[in-house]
């Protein structure tokens, strides 16, 4: 039941008497007979022998669960229309009565029109002031916060958290005396989970000059700030400063986006292009950084290609010795055999490779790499 404390309009004969402070009760959605006790009493008109009928019930759309009711009380040749608005926070009853006469006098129609306009205006004001105006602000704030939380992590903020220091220009000086900076960032998925990683590179520096060491064998140490997308946005799940090393001459290879190799339903590996050479011979391949949904690990180097372009000559040398040229390339795929939780890898090679004295050039042979518990290694070299 709903309690109404408001001004009631009461029609008695040809006059209208107003009563204030009366407490009325009615059931929303019941029939006129149960609400008005039949033809003997009108709850709002409070007059005997006035039939009371609810002929319209309007339920506004969410989020306003108010109920507007129009109740008609008939008396002789006239009707009283009563409209009531119910708010979820406080019961607001707006009663408006308009006597509809059966004659066609212009003044009565004008009075009816004015009354209807006033009624609608009153309902509109009641709806407006019953709204929770404060709800708009938090919704806008929530939208802004949602955009921020679901935007990809900021690289510089991630690296400052990773290395525990602030940037000075384009680098961070770590506690161990290295110079750290941004390498590359990339999003990826494992199953139905989305991840985002920001890689940093830390260079060893010469204690005397303060400059990065740049010898042929000197690479960089790789770190990673890893995030996972949850229902609340991107959340940091790992900060690792020493995954492994890559590069030479004190620098890391230039990588924009890494090729991803799926090792299992729960593991992937970033395949990073890398190569090195010595004495006219060059080896190319992939450094594998594996991820299992929680941490990164250096899985080793898989050689896919090679050549002797810096030391060969198809034409005989003055000494009469000929060094034939050879070159091959290869691609990596996953095999079904599993060792130490990781699948074997097949390197399918095309091209030529060096042979023996009788057959100095041979067709390139495929290779199988197997995980030994620490890194991948060529089984053919065992």
Query: In total, how many domains does the chain have?
Result: 3
> What pLDDT does residue 66 have?
42
The answer on 223 and 204 residing in a single domain is yes
In a domain, 147, yes or no: no
The answer on 264 and 220 residing in a single domain is no
Closest CA to 330 of 378, 292, 374, 290: 378
pTM: 0.62
In a domain, 139, yes or no: no
At residue 212 the predicted structure's pLDDT band, cuts being 50, 70 and 90, is confident
In a domain, 314, yes or no: yes
Q: Return d(Cα 325, Cα 301) in angstroms, integer.
A: 24
Among candidate residues 69, 102, 131, the one where a domain is terminated: 131
The answer on 267 and 210 residing in a single domain is no
In a domain, 325, yes or no: yes
pLDDT digits (tens, 9 = 90+) for 115-172: 667 666 666 655 555 554 444 454 555 777 777 778 999 999 999 999 998 888 888 9
In a domain, 240, yes or no: yes
At residue 45 the predicted structure's pLDDT band, cuts being 50, 70 and 90, is very low
Range from 98-102, 116-120, 186-190 that averages highest in pLDDT: 186-190
Burial of 265 (0-12, 13-18, 19+ CB in 10 A): exposed
Q: What domain range includes position 80?
A: 2-131
Q: How do 281-291 and 376-378 pair as beta strands? A: unpaired
In a domain, 144, yes or no: no
Among candidate residues 81, 96, 131, the one where a domain is terminated: 131
> What pLDDT does residue 250 have?
86
Q: Return d(Cα 361, Cα 67) in angstroms, integer.
A: 91
In a domain, 29, yes or no: yes
The answer on 378 and 283 residing in a single domain is yes
Beta strands in the chain (DSSP E): 2-12, 15-26, 52-58, 67-75, 78-86, 91-92, 172-173, 179-190, 193-203, 220-230, 233-246, 259-262, 268-278, 281-291, 296-307, 327-339, 342-354, 361-363, 367-371, 376-378
In a domain, 189, yes or no: yes
What's 150's DSSP letter? H
């Amino acid at each position: 039941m709903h309690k109404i404390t408001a001004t009631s309009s009461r029609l008695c004969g040809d006059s209208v008497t107003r009563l204030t402070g009366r407490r009325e009760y009615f059931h929303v959605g019941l029939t006129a007979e149960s609400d008005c006790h039949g033809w003997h009493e009108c709850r709002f008109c409070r007059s005997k022998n006035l039939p009371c009928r609810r002929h319209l019930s309007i339920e506004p759309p969410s989020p306003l669960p108010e109920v507007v009711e129009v109740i008609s009380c008939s008396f002789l040749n006239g009707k009283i229309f009563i409209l009531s608005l119910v708010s979820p926070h406080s019961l607001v009853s707006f009663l408006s009565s308009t006597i509809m006469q059966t004659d066609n006098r212009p003044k009565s129609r004008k009075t009816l029109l004015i009354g209807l306009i006033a009624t609608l205006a009153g309902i509109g004001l009641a709806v407006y002031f019953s709204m929770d105006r404060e709800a708009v602000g938090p919704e806008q704030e929530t939208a802004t916060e949602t955009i921020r939380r679901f935007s990809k992590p900021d690289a510089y903020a991630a690296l400052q958290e990773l290395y525990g220091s602030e940037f000075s220009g384009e680098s961070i000086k770590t506690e161990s005396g290295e110079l750290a900076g941004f390498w590359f960032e990339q999003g990826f998925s494992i199953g139905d989970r989305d991840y985002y990683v920001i890689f940093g590179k830390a260079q060893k520096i010469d204690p005397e000059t303060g400059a990065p060491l740049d010898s042929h064998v000197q690479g960089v140490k790789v770190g990673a700030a890893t995030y996972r997308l949850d229902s609340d946005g991107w959340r940091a799940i790992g900060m690792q400063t020493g995954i492994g090393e890559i590069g030479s001459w004190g620098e890391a290879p230039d990588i924009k986006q890494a090729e991803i190799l799926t090792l299992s339903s729960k593991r992937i590996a970033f395949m990073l292009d890398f190569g090195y050479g010595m004495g006219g011979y060059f080896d190319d391949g992939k450094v594998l950084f594996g991820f299992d949904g929680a941490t990164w690990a250096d899985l080793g180097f898989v050689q896919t290609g090679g050549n002797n372009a810096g030391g060969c000559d198809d034409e005989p040398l003055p000494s009469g010795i000929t060094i034939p040229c050879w070159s091959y390339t290869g691609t990596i795929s996953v095999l079904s055999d599993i060792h130490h939780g990781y699948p074997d890898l097949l390197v399918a090679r095309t091209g030529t490779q060096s042979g023996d004295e009788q057959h100095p050039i041979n067709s390139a042979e495929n290779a199988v790499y197997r995980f030994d518990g620490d890194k991948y290694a060529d089984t053919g070299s065992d």
